[in-house]
Structure 1
Amino acid sequence: MRFSKHLFILFIFLYCSTLLAQSKEISIVGILVEEASMQPIPYATIALFKNDSKDIIGGTTSNDIGEFELVTSSTNFFIEISFMGFKTKTITEFKIQNSKINLGRIKLSEDNEILDEVVVQAEVSKTVFKLDKRVFNIGKDISSTGASALEVLNNVPSVTVNIEGEISLRGSAGVQILINGKPSVLADESSNALGTITADMIESIEVITNPSAKYEASGTAGILNIILKKEEKKGWNGSISLNTGIPDNHSIGISLNRRTEKFNLFTQIGAGYRSLPRESSAINTNLVDDEVIYSDGLAYRDETFYNITLGTDYHINDLNVLTLSGNFAYEIEDQPSETNFRFFDANDVLQSSWLRRETTEATNPKYQYEFNYKKQFANNDEHALILSALGRFFGKDQSSQFENITESGSDVDSDQQTDTNFKQADYTFKVDYTNPLSDTYTIEVGAQYVINDVGNDYEVRDFDGATYVVNQDLTNNFEYNQKVLGVYFTGAYELEKLGIKAGLRLENTDLSTLLTNTNDSNAQNFTNYFPSVHTSYKLSDNMSLQLGFSRRIFRPRLWDLNPFFNIRNNFNIRIGNPDLQPEFTDSYELTSIYKIGKTSFSSSLYYKKTSDVIERVATFEDNITTTIPQNIGTNGSIGFETNGKYSPSKWLTLTGDFNYNYFDRNGVFETQSFDFSGRQWSTRLGSKIGLPADIDLELTGRYQSGYETIQGEVSGFAFLDLGIRKKIFKGKAVINLGVRDVFESRISETNVYQPTFETYSFDQRGRFVTLGLSYGFGKGEAMTYSGGRRR
């Protein structure tokens, strides 16, 4: 009996121990890495399955550095790890020690067959019309490649990104880049910030060549708006870049981007030195006295530069995002130059020759900061309110010494000094509200206020043999203040194939300039209306049409208005005109996009009518040519443009564009008629060739025809750019070799023909060779970084 009792107690003890053992949880941990590069694999799936029934027990995903932890109370299971593009790994053997399974570092190998299937079967990137813009939707044929945003842009029709990261639209630079419809430090083309955005983060790219009333009326080459996906857990992205070149072009750049559920943190740090040589020459011919002055010289702009960018996107919740960012840059300039002059009389006899030597030093601090708040509404992703504020500052403290050295003939020694204290502050405040009232109706309303505040204190001193005396005729202190207030409203009606959008923008410009040393002031206040109408029609899956009209304005810039004398060459002077008025352009455009086999085209017919055209007019006195901008008449331009992209195979992509326009000028200035007509055309042909060993070769040839001006002509030129890129370490590192203007044929020549004088000017930059190495870490491949300074 006693034995039976002890046996029963022992049985109960063992049973309870077994239950306790079964209910004790087991922790499973490990780190996932790529077998080839040993880089971490974030967001892979780790799942537990029952050994007998194959039913799933539980699962998790790896974090942004490849680590994972999974807890289970089961002991009869196997582990399966999967991630797109990699072979699935099954683990059936493991040890449990102290209620923990430590799998250590788990290597996943790439599955090339699966990757190929994804590219073939997945959604293909394509372009569609959306009334006032074209939208390039990013398919998995691009998003799964790990490319940077710059490489994605290079796949967009009408957009070209060269080997150094310079972006152009329809062959024109000066493109405004937006991120999710707003300005951003990430969109700064001159830094590597765009390189930290990878292809799988991008939803689509909007191409806007004829902006609607929603956008400010001042003209640009166009707008590219990068729409990011709402996925937030993207982990670390970054790159380190080293660059060198001839002429001197050396830099280092570090870019980092960290995306979490709540934050997107980004930074970019860069430093470098580069030299920009410029060769120039000029001939001033006095047809009255038959005297000629020749000048030729070489000038350098040597720069040491530093910059740092910091910013964050804070996702308050799924519907509210706050962005704060800032950038600071500092440049140290040295501008040595030498110009040789020769003066010949009417008998072609040399009367004198001299050398003008310049030594210029300058420091340029600059910074910008931005605040953006975006609120989306739950009823529709497109229903949004955006508030933004952007501030910029640029300063220049410059001093120059000019020395004239007589080499033969008459004494022309005339030493001079200049000092420049320049400060510019710009502020932009915006509010934009978009509301899709239904599937077919959408309204947009908003306002923008821009403040430009500039001061340029410029002093010239002449050497009188003993001291330097201020030259009051050339010295000025110029103050420029411009405020532009704009409000707009647009309404859109859009069906599956047909859509129309109309809008009106009202802008008030308050501009004032003041020459403090002479108390000459100029105040302008004007209000203008800028209507826009766009319509699109989808003929088929392979062809769509878009028709648009907009009115634009070009406001004179600071240096167009400032009566500032550049005395580097005393016989060829450019100054500004404080009385200059803005020019207005009515732009009409019919555009089509269509596909023929593997080729995609975009073609446009356009007409532009511009009033109060700003032209640079040359005058001649005492053998000195003075060029000043003036408002002269109207210009009507009709043209045709087409561009295409053809990819006959994976290793070859051909791109090209052609632009032809005929213009008719009408105007009178100081009783002289400037009525004439002319034509101008340009073309670009590019090829990207995939060579063995993961090498890409890029060749881009351009030709710009000559054209007539109101007083003469500008000659044409052709040039070739070359780029070679080699990927190493599975694309984690990239070596770039770029050669701009391979044959040194990019030459600017301008002739002015007038009854009493003729002038000729020549300008050339020369060949530039750059070599860069970039290493990328985190998701995606290495990001190309040109090492360029902030322009």
Structure 2
Amino acid sequence: MTFKNRLIGFLFCNILLGTGIGFAQKDGTTIIEGRVVEQGGGQPIPFATVLVADNETKTPITGGTTDDDGKFNLETEASDFYIEISFMGFKTKTFGQPVINSGVVNLGTVVLSEDAHQLAEVVVEGEVSTTEFKLDKRVFNVGKDISSTGMSALEVLNNVPSVNVNIEGQISLRGSQGVRVLINGKPSILASGEGNALGTITADMIERVEVITNPSAKYEAEGTSGIINIVIKKENREGLNGSISLNGGSPNNYSVGVSLNRRTEKFNLFTQLGGGFRELPNDIENGNVDLVNENSILSSGTEYRNEKFYNFTLGTDYYITPNDVITLSGNFALELEEQPSKTSFASIDKNEGITSEWDRNETTEATNPKFQYEFQYKKEFDGDEDHTLLFSALGNFFGKDQSSQFVDTTISGEDMDGDQKTRTDFKEALFTFKLDYTKTFFEDWSVEGGAQYVLNDVSNDYEVENLIDGEYVVDPDYTNVFDYNQNVFGLYGTGAYEGEKWGLKAGLRLEQTELNTLLKDTNEDNHQSYLDLFPSVHSSYKLNPKVSFQAGYSRRIFRPGLWDLNPFFNIRNNYSIRQGNPDLQPEYTDSFEITSIYLLGKASVNLGFYYRYTTDVIERVSTFENNVNTVTPENVGTNNATGIEFNFKYSPAKWFSLNGDFNLGQYKRRGTFETNVFDFDGTQWSSKLLAKFKLPGDLDIEATGNYESGYETVQSEIGDNLFMDLGVRKKLLKGKAVISLSVRDVFASRSYESVTEQPDFYVYNNRERGRFVSVGLSYGFGKGDAMEFTGRRR
């Protein structure tokens, strides 16, 4: 069998057995089991392909991939078959008609040796992003999707099933924005909601994205709609490996990235370097209408966020013994921002006449340093990879030193001249300490236990000055120092049974939260302390080799973050102001879901149903005075959300495949704020369709269509979105180099539009980014390929 056919078999098997669930032997079936390791060191090989094929026709019967320990367990009802075990970069091993003892074929330990020829070429089928289903999460393995060229992590997330990211950078999961984003399983400054934090992580740095819609008690309880965990690549092949990537595009977007890895028997040294420049223009249009006095303020213009960014990562794994590993790593990122923006304003009276026109010009500069450092120790007891102790200590720091000047210049009519200055001195420190213990009994039973302590310490010194009689005078209404301190201590325990037919996992997590905020200038403080229990239950069952089911329940929390609590925001547009609310209370959600997985020949289908009940829902509420719209988050009632989710993958031919994602949710909102009753029902849905074409000459094309319906909030209606991304890729030098072209938002149709219509005021907002075009070139050297990652065990 040729290497290309083996990779086609690899895809087929991943579709067939992507769930990672073990199942029982039935009458007339044969269990096939074993463990795959690499030659020279005996390290396990996860994700190796195990193919069972018919001896006569050579067509695949069933198959799967090895787990993190290199183990596999399959079943077949066939009697005349052979087994083939392969992994990219290694020589394939084939076992002819094996001996069956009591319905079991035990291949024992299978040793694979490296194949120099395979290391030099990889076909496109092996690069496609795939989704893997596990008992308590879904893993989206990020492949070489063409449209990801030049992307940041936010844009990569928008290609992940169930996830949407609007043009303001707000992440939602199944239509809900209560999402917790982690980096390598831990809280990180790089995943914070401040500015463009995730922009320093590029697509080339990401190994996989884990979408956990119903997390078990092992995970922190933060995030009412679930957790998104971004796992950063770290090469592990022996010797020196590396790759370099260059990207350029329009609007101006240039970057270079270098990845290097040196692996020996005792050490694994890894580093990544990146830098670049990007422009992020936004065309804006706003209208504030006072329905009582019948006048309005209209504004439009282009806001820019121009950034120079640098990223440097350095780390090492040191193997004290084969069972004890220490990891030390550090990351430094720096953003240098400029925001040259111009907005044109017009004041309209009740007779629709223009009383004044003026321009507001902004000059903003900011320096944003980010540091991250981590120590991790992992111990495997007696060489048992299912019996481990893991301790990690992670420190993060983020700073922002920003100054802005706003100059209002009258064009006609009433004098609106005025100057304002703002100054921001922001500092955030985040420390995370984790201890996890795992033990497996009798192969089918396992327990987990651990603790986590997260300390978040923030200070935001914000000042606004107005030019009065030739001198800048501090505006006390918008000036203060806001201190935010939140500490969360958690303990958890889980127990699981994963048999051959069904699995069950249950756990309980306890979290103690201490929150303190202080406005120093006015001495306004707020203290909250609460202790919560968060149970979780997950189960799986296989009806037959082609149909299986999963079900889960978890209780979650959304704690208001810094920018929800901080009462001071940028006054870029001083007629449209967002403020935080220091008195916000956390949201709590009970989440239930049932998922079914079907394997239908050349297609795999996932169909799921979910229900979420949320209390103390946080919504943004507008207040209106003197044509100024001020938006503040408030706790507004409850939400009942019921939804259906449908994902599929269909590969009718080796040159063509389709991936689809559909999510439909219905919600019932009940609540009041002050004297207003906010009771309403609504529907929200979204869909994605990705088509991939493999053409002669190693040329590949992909097209992605996205639709996001409009939806209601307590006061507003958000508009819908329909947009498309395109990508083209050409492989060169036997796969060692790749050149790609990406066009995002081909028809420049993507926008963020909201309308707030209340008895005494009307507010309209629209924001558009436009079309982005990127060209990328990457080259791999050593044993690596162009920005490839093997998936090998760390």
Whether the 8 Å CA contact 1:185–1:326 is kept in 2: the answer is no
* 1:482–1:224 Cα change, 3 Å: closer
Task: For residues 710-742 of structure 1, give each alpha carbon's deviation from its aligned partner in whole angstroms, at most 9, with x where no partner exists.
Answer: 112111010001111111011111111111111
1:172 equivalent in alignment to 2:159: no
Question: 1:217-232, aligned counterparts within 5 Å?
Answer: 217-219=221-223, 221-223=226-228
Instruction: Supply the AA of the counterpart residue of 2:578.
Output: R
Structure 1 pair 554/197, CA: closer, same or farther in 2 (3 Å)? closer
Q: Does 1:414 align with 2:431?
A: no
Q: How does 1:544-559 map to 2 (within 5 A)?
A: 544-559=548-563
Alignment partner for residue 694 of structure 2, among 675, 690, 695? 690
Tell me the distance in 1 between the aligned counterparts of 2:202 and 2:189.
Answer: 7
Partner of 2:779: 775
Give the alignment of 1:324-343 within 5 angstroms: 324-343=328-347
Tell whether the 8 Å contact from 1:196 to 1:238 is kept in structure 2 after alignment: no
Aligned counterpart, 1:283: 287
Distance, in Å, in 1 between the alignment partners of 2:260 and 2:432 is 27
Distance 1:142 1:290, change over 3 A: farther
Question: Who is 1:740 aligned against?
Answer: 744
Question: What's the CA shift string for 1:138-180, capped at 9, x where partnerless?
Answer: 527774576699975712257365523514542316685776x
Residue aligning to 2:33: none
- 1:591 equivalent to 2:482? Answer no
State whether structure 2 residue 590 is matched by structure 1 residue 702: no
The alpha-carbon distance between structure 1 residues 292 and 196, as it changes in their structure 2 partners (threshold 3 A), is closer
Code of the residue aligned with 2:130 in structure 1: it is: N
1:116 deviates by 3.9
Unaligned runs of 5+ residues in structure 1 are 1-112, 199-203, 786-791
Q: Say whether the 8 Å CA contact 2:239–2:264 is kept in structure 1.
A: yes
> Which residue of 1 is the match for residue 3 of structure 2?
115
User: What is residue 263 of structure 2 aligned with on the other side?
Assistant: 259
CA deviation after TM superposition for structure 1 residue 566, in Å: 2.1
What letter corresponds to residue 391 of structure 2 in structure 1? L
Whether the aligned pair in 1 keeps the contact of 2:216 and 2:507 (CA below 8 Å) is: yes
Which residue of 144, 163, 166 corresponds with 2:148?
163
Which residue of 459, 469, 474 corresponds with 1:470?
A: 474
Q: Aligned match of 1:319 in 309, 317, 323? A: 323
Measured in 2, the distance between the counterparts of 1:232 and 1:570 equals 52
In 2, the alpha carbon distance for the partners of 1:248 and 1:726 equals 23
Aligned match of 1:506: 510
**8 Å CA contact retained: 1:233, 1:261:** no
Aligned residue identity for 1:124? C
1:379, CA displacement in angstroms? 6.2
Query: Which residue number in structure 2 is paired with residue 578 of structure 1?
Result: 582
Aligned equivalents of 1:659, 1:683: Cα separation in 2: 6
Q: Look up the match of 1:372.
A: 376
State the number of aligned residues. 663
Residue 603 of structure 2 aligns to which amino acid in structure 1? T
| AA in 1 matched with 2:743 | V
Q: CA deviation at 1:753?
A: 1.0
Give, in whole Å, the separation in 1 of the partners of 2:472 and 2:295: 31
Q: Deviations over 1:274-316 (max 9, x none)?
A: 1110111111111111111111111111111112110111122
Task: Give the match for residue 636 of structure 2.
Answer: 632
CA distance in 1, matches of 2:634, 2:250: 39
- What amino acid is aligned across from residue 516 of structure 2 in structure 1? S
Unaligned runs of at least 5 residues, structure 2: 23-45, 50-84, 90-117, 133-137, 165-170, 172-179, 192-196, 790-794
- Could you tell which deviates more after superposition, 526-535 or 311-320? 311-320
Q: C-alpha distance in 1, partners of 2:230/2:408? A: 51
**Secondary structure of the residue that 2:279 maps to in structure 1?**
strand
Which residue of structure 2 lines up, in the alignment, with residue 29 of structure 1?
A: none
Percent identity (aligned): 53
Shift of 1:657: 0.4
Counterparts in 2 of 1:710 and 1:502: CA distance versus 1, 3 Å: same
Instruction: Answer with 1 or 2: which has the greater Rg.
Output: 1
Letter of the aligned partner of 1:155 in structure 2?
T
Distance in 1 (CA, whole Å) between partners of 2:201 and 2:682 is 41
The amino acid across from 1:115 in the alignment is F
Q: What pairs up with 1:139-538 in 2 under 5 angstroms?
A: 139=49, 143-144=88-89, 154-156=129-131, 159=140, 162-164=147-149, 166-167=156-157, 168-172=159-163, 195=204, 208-219=212-223, 221-223=226-228, 234-378=238-382, 380-538=384-542
1:223 deviates by: 4.6
Change (3 A) 1:632 1:177: closer
Summarize the Cα distance change of 1:332–1:403 in structure 2 as closer, same or farther, 3 Å threshold.
same
Amino acid at match of 1:163: S
Shift of the 503–620 alpha-carbon distance from structure 1 to 2, 3 Å rule, reads same
1:186 Cα offset (Å)? 13
Give the TM-score normalised by the residue count of structure 1: 0.79
Whichever residue aligns with residue 267 of structure 1, its letter is T
Offset of residue 439 of structure 1: 2.3
Contact 1:449/1:486 (<8 A) preserved: yes
User: Deviations for 1:249-286, whole angstroms, at most 9, x for unmatched residues?
Assistant: 01111111122222221101111111110111111111
1:450 to 1:152, Cα distance in 2 relative to 1, 3 A:
farther
Determine if contact 1:633/1:668 at 8 Å carries over to the other structure. Answer: yes
What does 1:88-99 align with in structure 2 at a 5 Å threshold? none
Matched with 1:755 is 759
**1:130 CA displacement:** 4.5
TM superposition shift of 1:706: 0.6
1-side partners of 2:649 and 2:476: how far apart? 58
**Equivalent residues of 2:7, 2:126 under 8 A apart:** no
1:549 Cα shift? Answer: 0.1
Q: 1:363 to 1:344 in 2, by over 3 A?
A: same
User: Counterparts of 1:255 and 1:154 in 2: how far apart (Å)?
Assistant: 21
Distance 1:121 1:356, change over 3 A: closer
Per the normalisation by structure 2, the TM-score is 0.79
Q: Which amino acid aligns with 1:576?
A: G
Q: In structure 2, what is the Cα distance between the partners aligned to 1:422 and 1:487?
A: 31
1:124 is matched with which residue?
13
**Corresponding residue SS for 2:526:** strand
- In the alignment, is the contact (CA less than 8 A) between 1:747 and 1:764 conserved in 2? yes
| C-alpha displacement of 1:759 | 0.6
Instruction: Classify 1:141/1:658 alpha carbon distance in 2 versus 1 (closer, same or farther; 3 Å).
Output: farther
Change in CA separation of 1:114 and 1:556 when aligned onto 2, cut-off 3 Å: same
The separation in 2 between residues aligned to 1:743 and 1:519, in whole angstroms, is: 51
What is the DSSP-based 3-state SS (H/G/I as helix, E as strand, rest coil) of the residue aligned with 1:560? helix
- 1:378 counterpart SS class: helix
CA shift at 1:129, angstroms?
4.4
**What are the superposed Cα offsets for residues 733-788 of structure 1, whole Å, 9 maximum, x if unpaired?**
11111111110100111001100011100001111111111111122420179xxx
- Partners of 2:321 and 2:248 in 1: CA distance: 44
Q: 2:609 aligns with which of 605, 610, 619?
A: 605
1:79-111: per-residue Cα shift (whole Å, max 9, x none)?
Answer: xxxxxxxxxxxxxxxxxxxxxxxxxxxxxxxxx
Q: Residue 207 of structure 1: CA displacement?
A: 5.9
Task: Give the partner amino acid of 2:162.
Answer: G
Say if 1:734 and 1:784, in contact at 8 Å, map to a contact too: no
What is the CA RMSD across the aligned residues, in angstroms? 2.9
Any conservation in 1 of the 2:240–2:263 contact (CA below 8 Å)? yes
Q: Which residue of 1 aligns with 2:93?
A: none
Q: Secondary structure at the match of 2:387?
A: strand
Q: Kindly tell me: are residues 476 and 184 of structure 1, through their superposed partners in 2, closer, same or farther at Cα, counting changes over 3 Å?
A: closer
Q: Summarize the Cα distance change of 1:206–1:511 in structure 2 as closer, same or farther, 3 Å threshold.
A: closer
